[in-house]
A and B are shown apart, each in its own frame.
Chain A
């Protein structure tokens, strides 16, 4: 029987902080010429948002139809949504519900937002993009 590794089951917050430190350390150890590229790569945004499974499926379907990556589809549709929001063509007014969390004032009415998609309002899946 193998001994249990003390680093197993660490809190994700601890893993994230140590992972970030290790990444910085690795970059510092590279030759100077490679450090710039490594820093640029590290700066590429990778963000985790909660996306309901039904919406994720729709994005993947579009990506398949268009021969694009799901990330590209998300960028295209998100950019379009942001432009429409900035031009006051989108309002969140009727979609916001008061939040019980002190971090955010509101949450969205998931059922209303996802109306028309299969399995609307099901719980979100964490998707790395």
Chain B
């Protein structure tokens, strides 16, 4: 089993969309996938047309030895560990517990024989669950909008990761890649920020995801982009010199290479 944390301290950069879209793509390709939602907004369940539920709250109870994990089937080969506003209470409970950063490690140990890949969708904040996700995951995927503040968020999450790895004796996620989202080729700022990302992070910058209205419409319908518009530009990319460039299909291929070793 490979665990991938999807994180960026900036909100609205496409973390949940990336986790749900890649998770469902891999499930469609035959992998057994679990999506763990650590965000109090509970949008992983909503994006898949399901109800928000206290999955993280129950995971804290499981961690303290008094409950069972709440895992909900979402699609064929795709399950979720949902979240809702009770996650806020769960974080307060965790604050008083020993080894609290190990909570997601404990969850993943429990499910490791059932799944090929686990995506952990992180909240846009540095809290105990964010640290727990970076400790439990094998890899970190960082979606970012191509604007100054979001790109700054990438540097922040990279610095959190290196601090965590230092304090935990080298344990923690390795940077899988940075996914530029909301690519708009008409805007100069987009290109400027993409160039800055590439200068800082080189080949870890993965194929960009073009801005796509169809992708924004998906959550309202409770469908993933593979169900709603599988040939839209966020999936197949935009055409540059007649060739498709970017899109979630290309990013999914990168992730599959990691899974296949």
- Which A residues have a C-beta under 8 Å from some C-beta of B? 6-14, 16-21, 45-48, 101-103
Contacts and interface: CB of A to CB of B under 8 A. Distances in A.
B206 to A, nearest CB: 6
Of A14, A20, A48, chain B has the most CB atoms within 10 Å of the CB of: A14
B242 A45 contact: yes
Contacts of A103: 230-231, 235-236, 249
B199 A6 contact: yes
B243 A16 contact: yes
Contact of A16 (B191, B236, B245, B249): B245
Interface of B: 28, 183, 185, 191, 194-195, 198-203, 205-208, 226, 230-231, 235-237, 240-243, 245-246, 249-250
A4 to B, nearest CB: 9
A11 B185 contact: no
Given A13-B208, A17-B208, A46 B241 contact: yes
Contacts of B231: 102-103
Contacts of A47: 241-243
A82 B228 CA distance: 32
A13 B242 CA distance: 13
Contacts, number: 79
Given A7-B202, A21-B194, A103-B235, 9 more contacts: A9-B203, A11-B205, A13-B206, A16-B243, A18-B195, A20-B241, A47-B242, A102-B226, A103-B231
B183 A14 contact: no
A7 B194 CA distance: 12
B207 A10 contact: no
A6 B198 contact: yes
25 contacts: A6-B199, A6-B201, A6-B203, A7-B198, A9-B203, A10-B202, A10-B205, A12-B245, A13-B246, A13-B250, A14-B194, A14-B207, A16-B245, A17-B191, A17-B194, A17-B208, A17-B245, A18-B191, A18-B195, A18-B198, A20-B241, A21-B185, A21-B191, A48-B243, A101-B249
A10 B242 contact: no
A54 B208 CA distance: 34
B258 to A, nearest CB: 14
A102 B249 contact: yes
A9 B208 CA distance: 16
Contacts of A16: 240-241, 243, 245
